[in-house]
């Protein structure tokens, strides 16, 4: 059992970041020999660093076996707090660099495909107009894939649909969730479609059309199915199942298909792919778009500025109505 630790005598004077770095490398590689090769040091140097850490903390950090090493419960605890320590140091260094030159910085963004296809290009365009030397690293994140990545600090923020993020759900207790705007789902077709010239379309007329929808367990499919069931109609035939907004837009331009899309997608795709929102009544169910960050984590200046740009772009969507005011300077 680990003994009580005297911070000043045992930790403050004896724990070194270099030793922590070596400990992380050993856990990641599963071997002191592999960690030594990766770090470009000798294996005895790695063994000594681990020994010094265990001596300073008064606890065994690694279980050793012929197959390699694994962290003990004490090692796991050190990993968790050490991750936060190195993350804050990294953010601090990035902040210093940003303060010395506010036009640079690096930001890692998680974004779901509909937002990456529709909103994110507008935010990036506006952001780079102000901070052209910054570097953005965008990761595709489906459903809640962004959650563990924010927790492990491999992402700085996530742009996502917030409809399933509940205030009383403990899964989200460690996140800050800011709703940027509420979008709506619309039914769209290509301007060459015979439906594009209609001023009013009854849902029953579209039962036998060739629909492009997401999978049956998706929010989009559920909304369309709800609309048809409410009218006592059979569900439409799905010609293609896909989450890709870009693929849906490309196929709609042929005039042979109908698809449900988030309204914000029409912001950038309507003109490019000659698309039109059809006058079809769907249940009003807001589609909240949010920016999510990790609580109790310092936001870098570049992160704060990107979020500010996201707020500005969100205003152009008019709270879910297709907005006429485009983002200034944006040409899809």
pLDDT band at 323 (very low <50, low <70, confident <90, very high): very low
**What's 39's domain CATH number?**
1.10.10.10
Per-residue pLDDT of 198-211, as tens digits, reads 999 999 999 999 99
- Over 70: is that where the pLDDT of 150 sits? yes
Distance CA 162, CA 158 (A): 11
- Over 70: is that where the pLDDT of 311 sits? yes
- CA diameter of the chain: 80
Together in a domain, 155 and 12: no
- Over 50: is that where the pLDDT of 319 sits? no
Q: What is the mean pLDDT of residues 62-66?
A: 83
Of 175 and 90, the one with more pLDDT: 175
Together in a domain, 204 and 177: no
Q: What is the mean pLDDT of residues 74-95?
A: 78
Residue 93 lies in a domain: no
Together in a domain, 273 and 198: yes
- Over 90: is that where the pLDDT of 23 sits? no
Q: Which residue has the tokens 């979008």?
A: 183
- Looking at residue 236, what is its pLDDT? 87
- Over 80: is that where the pLDDT of 244 sits? yes
- Looking at residue 189, what is its pLDDT? 95
- Looking at residue 21, what is its pLDDT? 82
Domain enclosing residue 265, as ranges? 185-277
- Over 60: is that where the pLDDT of 168 sits? no
Distance CA 222, CA 232 (A): 15
Residue 329 lies in a domain: no
Residues in the chain: 332
Together in a domain, 177 and 307: yes
Of 316 and 5, the one with more pLDDT: 316
Q: What is the mean pLDDT of residues 150-168?
A: 79
Q: What residues contact residue 210 under an 8 Å CB cut-off, 6+ apart?
A: 237, 239, 256, 257, 258
Together in a domain, 45 and 163: no
Distance CA 73, CA 67 (A): 19
- Over 70: is that where the pLDDT of 325 sits? no
- Looking at residue 193, what is its pLDDT? 94
- Give the bridge partners for 52, in sequence order: none
Of 326 and 146, the one with more pLDDT: 146
- Over 80: is that where the pLDDT of 162 sits? no
Alpha-helical regions (H) of 131-253: 146-151, 219-230, 245-252
- Looking at residue 324, what is its pLDDT? 34
Q: Count of domains in the chain?
A: 3
- Looking at residue 142, what is its pLDDT? 77
Contact assessment for residue 116 and residue 161, using Cβ atoms and an 8 Å cutoff = no
- Over 70: is that where the pLDDT of 29 sits? yes
Q: What angle do CA 285, 319, 249 make, to 5 degrees?
A: 75
Residue 97 lies in a domain: no
Together in a domain, 74 and 200: no
Together in a domain, 175 and 215: no
Q: Where is the domain boundary, 88, 114, 137?
A: 88
Name the residue among 77, 80, 58, 72 with its Cα closest to residue 11.
58
Residue 326 lies in a domain: no
- Over 80: is that where the pLDDT of 241 sits? yes
Together in a domain, 204 and 249: yes
Whether the model pTM is above 0.75: no
Q: What is the mean pLDDT of residues 274-302?
A: 87
**What's 133's domain CATH number?**
3.40.190.10
Q: What is the mean pLDDT of residues 29-44?
A: 87
Of 99 and 59, the one with more pLDDT: 59
Together in a domain, 265 and 312: no
Residue 1 lies in a domain: no
- Over 90: is that where the pLDDT of 217 sits? no
Average per-residue pLDDT for the chain: 82
Together in a domain, 215 and 143: no
């Amino acid at each position: 059992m680990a003994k009580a630790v005297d911070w000043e005598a045992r930790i403050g004077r004896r724990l070194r970041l270099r030793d922590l770095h070596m400990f992380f490398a050993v856990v990641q590689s599963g071997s002191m020999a592999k960690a030594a090769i990766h770090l470009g040091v000798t294996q005895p140097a790695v063994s000594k660093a681990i020994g010094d850490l265990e001596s300073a903390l008064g606890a065994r950090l690694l279980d050793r076996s012929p197959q390699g090493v694994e962290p003990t419960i004490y090692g796991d605890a050190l990993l968790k707090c050490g991750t936060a320590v190195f993350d804050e140091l990294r953010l601090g260094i990035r902040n210093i660099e940003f303060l010395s030159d506010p036009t640079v910085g690096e930001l890692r963004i998680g974004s779901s495909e509909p937002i990456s296809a529709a909103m994110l290009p507008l935010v990036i365009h506006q952001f780079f107009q102000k901070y052209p030397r910054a570097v953005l690293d965008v990761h595709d994140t489906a459903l809640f894939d962004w959650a563990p990545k924010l927790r492990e600090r491999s992402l700085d923020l996530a742009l996502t649909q917030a409809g399933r993020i509940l205030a009383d759900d403990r899964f989200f207790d460690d996140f800050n969730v800011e709703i940027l705007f509420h979008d709506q789902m619309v039914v769209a077709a290509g301007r060459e479609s015979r439906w594009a010239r209609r001023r009013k379309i009854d849902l029953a007329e579209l039962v036998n059309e060739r629909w492009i929808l997401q999978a049956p367990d998706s929010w989009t499919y559920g909304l369309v199915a709800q609309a048809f069931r409410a009218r006592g109609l059979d569900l439409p035939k799905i010609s293609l199942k896909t989450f890709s907004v870009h693929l849906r837009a490309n196929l709609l331009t042929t005039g042979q298909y109908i698809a449900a899309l988030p309204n914000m997608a029409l912001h950038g795709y309507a003109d490019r792919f000659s698309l039109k929102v059809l006058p079809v009544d769907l249940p009003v169910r807001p589609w909240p778009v949010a920016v999510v960050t990790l609580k109790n984590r310092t936001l870098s200046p570049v992160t704060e500025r990107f979020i500010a740009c996201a707020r500005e772009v969100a205003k152009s969507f008019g709270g879910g109505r297709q907005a006429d005011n485009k983002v200034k300077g944006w040409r899809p």
